[in-house]
Amino acid sequence: MATHTPPTGTPAPGDSYVQSFARGLQVIRSFSESAPRQTLSEVAAASGLTRAGARRILLTLQTLGYVVSDGKLFTLTPRILDLGFAYLSSMPIWNRAEPVMEALVQQVQESCSAAVLDATDIVYVMRVPTKKIMHISLGVGSRLPAYCTSLGRLLLADLDDEEVRARLEASDRQALTKHTVTDVDALMAKVAQARRQQWCLVNQELEEGLISVAAPIVNRQGRMVAALNISGQANRTSAKVMQETMLPALMDAAKKVSQLL
């Protein structure tokens, strides 16, 4: 998986062109579930911009059709989705992976998700829920920390140790449950184990009661480009059952998806 090392040469981070573009994207990202409609002042505060700067960007976004305003409150328009769609449609694999994932969900009766790594996070690119599970409201594009998730630890395992350590150290490692491993050396060992096994099981480290197991999606060059997981409730599916019964089906599905690459 490619890393996000900034390129050498122009533009430098201080370049006004970079800065104005970065600020524009920052304004887009300032809209959220808790702030779906914002005033000019709210956008400025959330993006760390002056009122004048925020106004210029909001009017630019409005001119381009990405934002609408009633005169006072600004909201994003669905045109924003075109940007994420550009990414998803540039990875046609997920459309073809969906039937494989649906068959797996039918077989194991647990939810299945696919994710990729971005810096210290995993980002969901596909999700097939099962009916009977508690509803986890994580759609495409949502993020979770890599250090405490099965998908994340497995995806980290494709990087070299130096890079893994750097990303773990850059992570905001919180004891989210009493089981969460937060020590960097202990996490390095978990990632090494995932690398040896080529799968990873995480038991209630992200959330009490949540258990998941991940398998790699590997391209023709042998690089892990994404990972697939099954997640369920720990009180219904033990780690033993997940590993012995569901993991073989998951490994099989991940292999099928890899062959689509």
Binding positions for a second copy, 95-114, rule CB under 8 A: 95, 98-99, 102, 106
Nearer to a second copy, 117 or 211 (CB): 117
Helices (H), the chain: 16-29, 40-47, 51-63, 81-89, 93-108, 150-156, 161-170, 184-197, 239-241, 247-260
For residue 13, state whether it binds a second copy (rule: CB under 8 A).
yes
226 Cβ contact partners less than 8 Å away, ≥ 6 residues apart: 114, 115, 116, 125, 155, 217
Out of 51, 79, 132, 236, the residue judged to bind a second copy by CB under 8 A:
79
For residue 32, state whether it binds a second copy (rule: CB under 8 A).
yes
Beta carbon of residue 184, minimum distance to a second copy (angstroms, whole number): 23
Nearer to a second copy, 88 or 192 (CB): 88
For residue 227, state whether it binds a second copy (rule: CB under 8 A).
no
Q: Determine the Cα–Cα distance for residues 86 and 184; give it in Å rounded to an integer.
A: 36
Residues 218/1, Cβ–Cβ less than 8 Å: no
Nearer to a second copy, 69 or 198 (CB): 69
For residue 81, state whether it binds a second copy (rule: CB under 8 A).
yes
Which residues lie across from 68 on neighbouring strands? 75
Q: How far is CA 64 from the centre of its chain?
A: 28
For residue 88, state whether it binds a second copy (rule: CB under 8 A).
yes
Out of 76, 112, 228, 230, the residue judged to bind a second copy by CB under 8 A:
76
**Which residues in the 193-212 window bind a second copy by CB under 8 A?**
none
For residue 69, state whether it binds a second copy (rule: CB under 8 A).
yes
For residue 66, state whether it binds a second copy (rule: CB under 8 A).
yes
119 φ/ψ sector (left φ>0, alpha ψ -120 to 50, else beta): left
Out of 107, 143, 243, 249, the residue judged to bind a second copy by CB under 8 A:
143
Residues binding a second copy: number (CB under 8 A): 77
For residue 84, state whether it binds a second copy (rule: CB under 8 A).
yes
For residue 183, state whether it binds a second copy (rule: CB under 8 A).
no
Residues 253/212, Cβ–Cβ less than 8 Å: no
103-132 in b/e form (b: 16+ CB < 10 A) is bbbeebbbbbbbbbbeebbbbbbbbbbeee
Nearer to a second copy, 22 or 175 (CB): 22
